[in-house]
Amino acid sequence: MKITMIGSGYVGLVSGACFADFGHDVVCVDLDEAKIEALRGGKVPIFEPGLADLIERNARAGRISFTTELAPAVARAEVVFIAVGTPSRRGDGHADLSFVEAAAADIARAMDGFTVVVTKSTVPIGTGDEVERIIATNRPDGEFAVVSNPEFLREGAAIEDFKRPDRIVIGSEDTRALSVMREAYRPLSLNKSPILEMNRRSAELTKYAGNAFLATKITFINEIADLCEKTGADVQQVARGMGLDKRIGSKFLNAGPGYGGSCFPKDTLALLKTAQDFEAPQTIVEAVVQTNEKRKRAMGRKVIQAIGGDVRGKVVAVLGLTFKPNTDDMRDSPAIAIVQTLQDAGAVVHAYDPEGMPNASQMFEDVVYFDDPYAAMKDAEGLAIVTEWDEFRALNLTKVQSLLKGLVLVDLRNIYDRGELEMLGIKYVAVGR
């Protein structure tokens, strides 16, 4: 099957590479000439485990290619996926659909024969209707169907998520389009991945509702963690007791500094704005958004208090800058607010992250970066673990003790055992325990 992916960012590249690995003929389109040249040269502009090898293997086999020329790529395709960015719009927080709308107009002018146009980007309810209107306006004689097929990819585990998904959501009531989409995803039938067919607006809302619910779980357990600290309970024990209830489940019950990333902050905000437009207030989600934003700076203050309440002129080491491990994505990372809070209090921040430092350096001023975690913590008054990269899970604690000037470790991901740290004379501060 001939597939064209409009947008060669995170979703477009992962989806395109995986479709190619299924045996489809995939062309990825992007207007950024530098990005396309890099991809043609085997350089992947994002960090995602396994993605570079996947692209290289399928490029060598001739199943995936990259271009800036949209028209010929669309004309050859049976399915065209729109996988462009939908960032929060400045001023009102709505999802910015300008890239989606531009792609729809370009597709309309270029498509040849019956074409299934798929919104892969996360888009508000009703976007499919607008894409359909744009295509019909620009191409009254065109044969096409517009489908919603939201992505559910976790950064750091995206390839596995695509190839072995919990479900595949397809929003369409067009029989021809559904047949094409089933064929595109046919290789996944071997894994018995369920394909859920529904109307287009339901599919669009499914993505937002799912992300909002997960954000709610995270925020809930974080508030329970605060209560645990006040009462002497242990949030990890509480979360385990909750999670073994099958109605609740154990995932997303790890207390920490708050959620960030490319999806949860943006999607919860877009859901709130859509709900306002339809006069269906989402008060729970609204509370989640507000609570999460407050929590990030509160974690910075937690670090300051652990060090003694005054960090002016003192070195504080921060391990982990990305919003989660196994990605270089800094978008809305809790580390941003934590570092800013420390700097506002006068601290000198020394930082290390396995993949995030190039992106972080564009966001922070006066942060000192190091090539390994131990160099970052040398002579620091305190150490904060913000992101749970694997290499932070097995630090040489004796070495940590010898390097820190102030023996304070603030573990915002609850990685370590309190007893082990305290035996070494290190003050240990965790979240909710």
pLDDT tens over the chain, length 433 residues = 999 999 999 999 999 999 999 999 999 999 999 999 999 999 999 999 999 999 999 999 999 999 999 999 999 999 999 999 998 887 677 889 999 999 999 999 999 999 999 999 999 999 999 999 999 999 999 999 999 999 999 999 999 999 999 999 999 999 999 999 999 999 987 767 789 999 999 999 999 999 999 999 999 999 999 999 999 999 999 999 999 999 999 999 999 999 999 899 999 999 999 999 999 999 999 999 999 999 999 999 999 999 999 999 999 999 999 999 999 999 999 999 999 999 999 999 999 999 999 999 999 999 999 999 999 999 999 999 999 999 999 999 999 999 999 999 999 999 999 999 999 999 999 999 9
Q: Is 18 a catalytic residue?
A: no
Q: Which pLDDT value is given to residue 385? A: 98
How far is CA 172 from its chain centroid? Answer: 26
| pTM: predicted TM-score of the whole model, two decimal places | 0.92
At 192-238, the pLDDT tens digits run 778 999 999 999 999 999 999 999 999 999 999 999 999 999 999 99
Alpha carbon distance 48, 44 (integer Å): 9
Q: Which two tokens stand for residue 422?
A: 């305290």
Cβ atoms of 424 and 418 within 8 Å: the answer is no
Residue 136, class by beta-carbon neighbours within 10 Å (0-12 exposed, 13-18 middle, 19+ buried)? middle
The arrangement of strands across the sheet holding 427-429 comes to 368-369, 348-352, 315-319, 382-385, 408-411, 427-429
> Residue 292 has what pLDDT?
97
Annotated active-site residue in 18, 28, 228, 263: 263
Domains in the chain: ranges and CATH: 2-197 (3.40.50.720), 208-289 (1.10.1040.10), 295-429 (3.40.50.720)
| Single-letter code of the amino acid located at 395 | L
User: What would the pLDDT profile of 239-298 be if each residue is shown by its tens digit?
Assistant: 999 999 999 999 999 999 999 998 999 999 999 999 999 999 999 999 999 999 999 999
